[in-house]
């Protein structure tokens, strides 16, 4: 790979990406464009602008954007239509944010004439894969620079030395080592590494930042009603809201009740296991509610097909294949299923749990006329079950007859 | 079907199956054998014997058996090895008990020379299918009699009239209509019908019988440690126990903390939707713990394959195909995966939720040496990720190049 | 079910459906509307009109239609986009025609104010299921009458007696029993029953009606070029044609070269096995060519996903679930994959076999620059394979290390 | 990776692996052990011994083995039990041989105290992946040396110069460039590269080496009968044979009739497409016959489950994951299904095609009593179909009713 001339860097404003910024300038003598996104991670973006300027980035090369609505509308919600869960439990909060960041990096590269993009993910994790697969899928000729796989700043000490040597301001609390590493966006906060590396040891309380301890949550359950249209939530307790606003509101509910904590050991795409603490307060409520509305609006053929392809869909997102033909094909299948997933769900929130307790819809397929224990006025003919069972049993009888025949 | 001569009846001792007993005698003039099983439903079995005798069943035709250990060891545990969940949420507590009952009915029919078996399931539900598919799979020539699909006792009034006309004792509390219908065994209690038939209305508190209200559960979390061997739980807090004992103990923990309540609308195999309240206290804890131990002992290839076939496996059990080649094939696959699922999980129980917080095992595949944020002494070469990503990206680049080529 | 007042009958004009026509009039005293479709079965339709008139059907109640284009465009081609094959070998020629016939029956019922439809399929086969599921999916209130499951004309003798008693003309060659039963349309001809019922005996030569014996086919291979657009064939040897014309033309090629014969034992949806002889001359060529064009235009992610869902898609069509949410969801997935399946395939036809020998496309993903054995000018960096293999191997190494650890 | 001290080389005796042998000695100064296997590739192995000796390999370091029986019994037959086909058409002839070679390399390394193995696969293909994943799965600490990814002998000229400089004898016909590259074993011969690199051009006739041109095959069909036990072929025309002998014999039949030619563009695991000519004469017959015997001995539940997991199983073998938990899990599932796949199939061989025309078995599930068009004496009750269809239709009716309700 020839040296890049102009690089768009995914820039948080923090110490690590500031070091990367400087390293890119130093290593390649290249122009750097910074991209700082508000994905709902809960940090001020203004300091990032100031810091970029301080590090010599030209004002026209500083991109700071609020992309929360796009994030929730075009990435989070489509994923939740699938009830996507990785390895049975993880709601993919980090995975789903990466392709959007890459998309903006590539778009900004096109606008600014940059020939490369750079990110701050390490060589051990999934995020490097997600950033880079998305980038290459959108621009096959882009150069991707992953300094953590390239440089020799392999210890905390060396990083700090580099920062000092290059006049990069170091916040006092960054002098020491953080006891664990954090990623956050509007959907979730994940924590991993350091004090969490031994999966036999419980995570310390201070790791949980996004949700209140369920022990201290309200002592009485709270009910909320979430309305859906075509698979996406559109209102809470009757109040219509934008996608990002809904997720924000659900996060507040979830935080208060301590909902969405997960202590998890997962299989990374790069082949190793890792342990993380995930907090997905609003997403956990949303998943529960979405399942609730699907229960009455999706028929079994549609539902079972969705269930059967879900693990593959989730794996694709986890592994970084958001921008791939197979993810798009599965999305077409999923979206097709959601045409009637419209209605309202009542969810009970209490001490760490969200539980559907009622649901209704004009699109409901539930037929009290059929299921009733009372006289059903001919809606359902019980003698039909006889033939249904006989024909389902036929092959089993033939198998049993063979067994008997061969044994005698 | 010619009239049966001798029928083995799945007999609970309750009013409904007593009426069936009498009806069989009356309708066919046939000899009846009763089979009453202790599956952990929490009812005394002695009254069933007395009632059968009262209805004229010969002592040698009265079978009363405690089959809890067989139930848990050969049905419940194999199913939990798969993390089987139907339609995302239901732990299959009723479904898994039916094939065992059918198996014993068929075995007793062979021992007593009976040519038929009978059950008390209605023509609208799944249980008739489960009973009968299992029966036919074990004896292709057996006659199965389902009185609810045959007789004209189609209302409560007619049933009570028949009972009175035939001197069947009616407990006082059975005079009135039960407000909902219940099925129970060691794994779960399900409630459905009547007051539960409108899924838009919350279930009344009195429906929950198997678990304490989480609101009234202990105010501090409780920790338990569950040890597994080859995928099955073998000890709690270091105390080794038999399968049924372990499940019983987990049920006690779960009950106290209000764990395992589910308000659910599901798709029945017979084509309609129904709403049920399920309580699976011990099973909910077990599922969480089993997932926890798999997290460190199963590699991603095994785990993802299991996840992808699980919905199908669960559907087979739900639909009544326990004794089918495809269920046995899937079981062979699942059991093969469990050879190293050995180790211990610590689970936190609190106000309705069970959550894994630690896990350890001699069979662990988790490698702190690889995953560490610290210097890894060469365990993992970060530059390998470069090639890994490049080759995973190659087809995406070719796709992107095509797109660009066709657009210009 | 109350008696029908007006019935739309799927009417071939043959003896069996003429008997059904009369039986409907006699049994229910109802008005009958006949629907006779040209699906490419190769029979004159005019005689059907005359026969219907003879049996007292009013001219405005006689529907005779050429639906070949709709059949191929909206049913056959969408199915071939999936490379659908049932149980490894069967191209679903009968299955795919049934939903279209039902669709027209229901539409005509709406036009004519009929409250029922009727078909001539027996109670043992799949076709009854396909007809009726499609009918109910399009009109939940329609009555479906399947005389073969209802009447007592259970032998050839009784049928002929009924025909004679009702002045139904009997062609001389219908007096005797046909040695096997035939279904045909533009996609295929199937034969089953009677002389074919023992799968251990070879089918007699005279069963094959749609294809010439490969032994007598041309002694030199013939090449044809089939052009595709978005997954559907649009031209042969450069000549653009309508869907039905293309399939007709491919049938001619296939017939001459004896292509598409299949001797098959399959699992019917109703639980038994049956043996059939299928001849699908044009379809066999089309499947081969479609696979050929996908080889260069579909990437592995899309192709493997398609392959993995294909058996389920084929099973749905075989079982009669064309008009179901899950078939439509899978179709959305498949159609999404075909956006670039555009290009041309050269197929060699010879003595029973069709074999792709060349393919090219502007949409090709094949990159000679990458795959070449020659110097590739940096298109591909072989050292990338090192990292790719190392990370794919990591979990296998961890498994091997565990095995070694536990054994020592 | 530190330099290897002793390397076991997969050695064919040809020019390329002789150069590798020398290069290993030169580059690392290490001891080399050669392993030459008879996998049925049809080459003399004695010259390999002489050549190894000539290149200075000690006699005790020369391993020459006939592993054809192990290859067919433990690798080919288990794979054929699955009807494994990659991307619809490829019978995996190369893929299935690689893990066995790696297994022997690792075993010999253990016997000889070698710390490394080496192979002659390039950095562009799948074989490097297959060799190395298998090696690491069997010995996590082994070093694997892939000279083609390491050295600078990147042109034919440089290779020949190295050979000459190192006194490696060069056969006259190796002076020029081969027009394509070949791999062969008892299952198949594959050809790729050079003259085959343009998939729009037909392969020249001289590429086909393993099968006679169908045009010149016998002008009359030939019938053979293949007997199976538990899914594996055990006899041809009544003559019992060992696994390798059966495959050899089938290859002879297939060669004569020109069976098993495939012109194919496939997706390599490393991300690019490649075009190959595969000849699998015996394997093509075997696949057809295995499907034939499964048709009568496997029930639909087992068969459809097998079909649905087959693409994944084939992909695992293609990608090199033979020694992985998920392949072993799938194998357990497949093997479970084969317990009754016992019986005999008659296959017609003619001009490039193998076609099942009859099959019989004591384990047959085919029931003429059920399927007959004649009076079936009560084996099957056609009225059962009514209920079967009604309950399968119920959800479709509910969907149709919703549609109607929402439209009005």
CB atoms inside a 10 Å sphere around CB D22: 19
Q: Pick the catalytic residue from B98, B249, B261, B327.
A: B98
Please, are residues C293 and C344 in contact by the beta-carbon 8 Å criterion? Answer: yes
CA of A362: which chain D residue's CA is closest? Answer: D406
Categorize the per-residue pLDDT at D155 as very low, low, confident or very high, splitting at 50, 70 and 90: confident
Which residue's structure tokens are 């969490």? A196
Give me the sign of the Cα torsion angle A301, A305, A308, A313: negative
Average pLDDT estimate for C7-20? 96
- Residue A265 has a pLDDT of 98
Taking CB atoms and an 8 Å limit, are B326 and D305 in contact across chains? yes
Q: Does A103 touch chain D (CB under 8 A)?
A: no
- Residue C107 has a pLDDT of 98
- The annotated binding site of D is made up of 10-18, 37, 90, 95, 120, 122, 126-127, 130, 181, 190, 266, 278
| Nearest-CA distance C302 → chain A (Å) | 5
Residues contacting residue C56 through CB under 8 Å, at least 6 positions apart: C25
- Residue B379 has a pLDDT of 87
On the 0-12 / 13-18 / 19+ scale of CB atoms within 10 A, B151 is: middle
Average pLDDT estimate for C63-80? 98
Nearest to A321 by CA among A138, A136, A130: A130
Residues of C with Cβ-Cβ distance to B402 under 8 angstroms = 340, 363-365
Q: Does D391 touch chain A (CB under 8 A)?
A: yes
- For residues C241 and C245, give the distance between their C-alpha atoms in angstroms, rounded to a whole number: 6
Q: Strand B232-236 to strand D273-279: parallel, antiparallel, or no bridges (unpaired)?
A: unpaired
- For residues C329 and C283, give the distance between their C-alpha atoms in angstroms, rounded to a whole number: 24
On the 0-12 / 13-18 / 19+ scale of CB atoms within 10 A, C335 is: middle
- Residue A131 has a pLDDT of 98
Q: What is the CA radius of gyration of chain A?
A: 25
| Nearest-CA distance C119 → chain B (Å) | 24
Q: Which of C272, C329, C330 is the closest to A394 by Cβ?
A: C272
Nearest to C67 by CA among C104, C27, C24, C112: C104
pLDDT tens digits, one per residue of C104-130: 999 999 999 999 999 999 999 999 999
Taking CB atoms and an 8 Å limit, are B367 and C402 in contact across chains? no
- Least confident interval from B41-50, C172-181, C277-286, D109-118: C172-181
| Residue count (chain A) | 408
On the 0-12 / 13-18 / 19+ scale of CB atoms within 10 A, B193 is: buried
pLDDT tens digits, one per residue of C341-365: 999 999 999 999 999 999 999 999 9
ipTM, 2 dp:
0.96
- For residues C117 and C107, give the distance between their C-alpha atoms in angstroms, rounded to a whole number: 10
Residues of D with Cβ-Cβ distance to C193 under 8 angstroms = 372-373
CA of A395: which chain C residue's CA is closest? Answer: C271
Taking CB atoms and an 8 Å limit, are D88 and C83 in contact across chains? yes
Q: Does A200 touch chain B (CB under 8 A)?
A: yes
Q: Does B209 touch chain C (CB under 8 A)?
A: no
Measuring CA to CA, how many Å separate A196 from each of A90, A199, A342?
17, 7, 41
Best interface-test mutation with C: which of B295, B400, B402, B403 has the largest number of C CBs within 10 A?
Answer: B402
pLDDT tens digits, one per residue of C244-269: 999 999 999 999 999 999 999 999 99
C155: tokens are 């032998």
Residues contacting residue C305 through CB under 8 Å, at least 6 positions apart: A312, A326, A329, A330, C333, C337
CA of A389: which chain D residue's CA is closest? Answer: D388
Mean pLDDT of each 10-residue bin along chain A, 408 residues long? 93 94 96 97 92 96 98 98 98 98 98 98 96 98 96 88 92 78 96 94 96 96 98 98 98 98 98 97 98 98 98 98 98 98 98 97 96 84 95 97 94
Residues of chain B with pLDDT under 50: none
Q: Which of the two residues, C95 and A176, has the higher pLDDT score?
A: C95
Q: Which of D299, D328, D391 is the closest to B270 by Cβ?
A: D391
Q: Which of B364, B385, B402 is the closest to C365 by Cβ?
A: B402
Q: What is the CA radius of gyration of chain B?
A: 25
Half-sphere exposure of B257 (CA within 13 A, CB side): 31
| Nearest-CA distance C381 → chain B (Å) | 9
Taking CB atoms and an 8 Å limit, are C132 and D393 in contact across chains? yes
Q: What is the mean pLDDT of chain C?
A: 96
Q: Strand C343-350 to strand C353-360: parallel, antiparallel, or no bridges (unpaired)?
A: antiparallel
Q: Strand C31-38 to strand C62-66: parallel, antiparallel, or no bridges (unpaired)?
A: parallel
- For residues D312 and B364, give the distance between their C-alpha atoms in angstroms, rounded to a whole number: 26
| Nearest-CA distance C386 → chain B (Å) | 7
| Nearest-CA distance D387 → chain A (Å) | 4
C83: tokens are 């490379």
Average pLDDT estimate for D52-62? 96
Nearest to A188 by CA among A239, A231, A251, A114: A251
- For residues A315 and A297, give the distance between their C-alpha atoms in angstroms, rounded to a whole number: 26
Q: Which of C381, C390, C392 is the closest to B390 by Cβ?
A: C381
Q: Pick the catalytic residue from B127, B274, B337, B361.
A: B127
Q: Is A298 left (phi over 0), alpha (psi -120 to 50) or beta?
A: beta
- For residues C355 and B158, give the distance between their C-alpha atoms in angstroms, rounded to a whole number: 70
- CA distance between the termini of chain C: 73
Q: Is C127 annotated as a binding residue?
A: yes
State yes or no: pLDDT of C177 exceeds 80: no
SS (H, E, C) chain D: CCCCCEEEEECCCCHHHHHHHHHHHHHHCCEEEEEEEECCCCCCCHHHHHHHHHCCCCHHHEEEEECHHHHHHHHHHHHHHCCCCECCCECCCCCCCHHHHHHHHHHHHHHHCCCEEECCCCCCCCHHHHHHHHHHHHCCCCEEECHHHHCCCCCHHHHHHHHHHCCCCCCHHHCCCCCCEEEECCCCEEEECHHHCCCCCCCCHHHCCCCCCHHHCCCCCEEEEEEEECCEEEEECCEECCHHHHHHHHHHHHHHHCCCEEEEEEECCCCCEEEEEEECHHHHHHHHHHHHHHHHHCCHHHHHHHHHHHHHHHHHHHHCCCCCHHHHHHHHHHHHHHHHCCEEEEEEEECCEEEEEEEECCCCCCCHHHHCCCCCCCCCCCCHHHHHHHHHHHHHHHHHHHHHHHHC
- For residues D114 and D314, give the distance between their C-alpha atoms in angstroms, rounded to a whole number: 32
Q: Does A310 touch chain C (CB under 8 A)?
A: no
Best interface-test mutation with B: which of D325, D334, D391 has the largest number of B CBs within 10 A?
Answer: D325
Q: Which of B197, B201, B359 is the closest to A358 by Cβ?
A: B201
Please, are residues C209 and C198 in contact by the beta-carbon 8 Å criterion? Answer: no
Please, are residues D64 and D52 in contact by the beta-carbon 8 Å criterion? Answer: no
- For residues D338 and C13, give the distance between their C-alpha atoms in angstroms, rounded to a whole number: 46
Residues of C with Cβ-Cβ distance to A298 under 8 angstroms = 325
Query: Looking at the annotation, which residues of A are catalytic?
Result: 16, 98, 127, 181
Average pLDDT estimate for C355-384? 92
Chains linked to C by 3 or more Cβ pairs within 8 Å: A, B, D
Average pLDDT estimate for C69-91? 98
| Nearest-CA distance D96 → chain B (Å) | 19
- Residue B375 has a pLDDT of 78
Q: Could you say which DSSP state residue B219 is in?
A: S
- Residue B99 has a pLDDT of 98
Please, are residues C153 and C19 in contact by the beta-carbon 8 Å criterion? Answer: yes
Please, are residues C192 and C276 in contact by the beta-carbon 8 Å criterion? Answer: yes
Please, are residues A321 and A133 in contact by the beta-carbon 8 Å criterion? Answer: yes
Q: What is the CA radius of gyration of chain C?
A: 25
Q: Could you say which DSSP state residue B194 is in?
A: G
Taking CB atoms and an 8 Å limit, are D367 and A398 in contact across chains? yes
Q: Is C122 annotated as a binding residue?
A: yes
- Residue C372 has a pLDDT of 86
Q: Which of A370, A385, A406 is the closest to D362 by Cβ?
A: A406
The residues that bridge with A34 in the sheet, in sequence order, are A9, A62
Residues contacting residue C394 through CB under 8 Å, at least 6 positions apart: A270, A271, A272, B370, B380
Categorize the per-residue pLDDT at D11 as very low, low, confident or very high, splitting at 50, 70 and 90: very high
Please, are residues B119 and B10 in contact by the beta-carbon 8 Å criterion? Answer: yes
Taking CB atoms and an 8 Å limit, are A395 and C267 in contact across chains? yes
Which residue's structure tokens are 């509390």? B173
């Amino acid at each position: 790979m020839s040296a890049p001339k102009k690089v768009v860097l995914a820039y948080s404003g923090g110490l690590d990406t500031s070091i990367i910024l400087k390293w890119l300038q130093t290593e390649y003598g290249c122009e750097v464009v910074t991209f700082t996104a508000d994905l709902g991670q809960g940090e001020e973006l203004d300091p990032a602008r100031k810091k970029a300027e301080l590090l010599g980035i030209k004002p026209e090369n500083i991109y700071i954007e609020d992309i929360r609505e796009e994030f929730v509308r075009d990435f989070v919600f489509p994923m939740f239509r699938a009830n996507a869960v990785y390895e049975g439990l993880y709601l993919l909060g980090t995975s789903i944010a990466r392709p959007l960041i890459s998309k903006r990096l590539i778009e900004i590269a096109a606008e600014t004439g940059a020939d490369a993009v750079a990110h701050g993910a390490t060589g051990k994790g999934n995020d490097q894969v997600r950033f880079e697969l998305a980038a290459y899928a959108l621009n096959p000729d882009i150069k991707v620079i992953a300094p953590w796989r390239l440089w020799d700043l392999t210890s905390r000490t060396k990083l700090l030395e580099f920062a000092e040597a290059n006049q990069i301001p170091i916040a006092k609390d960054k002098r020491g080592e953080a006891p664990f590493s954090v990623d956050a966006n509007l959907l979730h906060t994940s924590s991993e590494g350091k004090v969490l590396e031994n999966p036999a040891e419980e995570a310390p309380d201070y790791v949980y930042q996004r949700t209140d301890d369920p022990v201290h949550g309200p002592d009485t359950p709270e009910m909320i009603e979430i309305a859906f249209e075509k698979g996406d939530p559109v209102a809470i307790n009757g109040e219509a809201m934008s996608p990002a606003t809904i997720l924000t509101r659900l996060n507040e509910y979830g935080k208060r009740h301590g909902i969405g904590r997960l202590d998890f050991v997962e299989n990374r795409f790069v082949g190793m296991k890792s342990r993380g603490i995930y907090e997905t307060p609003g997403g956990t409520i949303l998943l529960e509610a979405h399942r609730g509305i699907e229960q009455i609006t999706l028929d079994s053929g549609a539902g079972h097909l969705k269930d059967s392809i879900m693990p593959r869909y989730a794996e694709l997102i986890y592994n970084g294949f958001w921008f791939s033909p197979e993810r798009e094909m599965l999305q077409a299948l999923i979206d097709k299923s959601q045409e009637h997933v419209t209605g309202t769900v009542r969810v009970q929130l209490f001490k760490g749990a969200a539980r559907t307790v009622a649901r209704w819809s004009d699109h409901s397929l539930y037929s009290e006329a059929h299921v009733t224990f009372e006289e059903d006025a001919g809606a359902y003919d019980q003698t039909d079950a006889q033939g249904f069972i006989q024909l389902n049993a036929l092959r089993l009888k033939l198998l049993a007859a063979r067994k008997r025949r061969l044994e005698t």
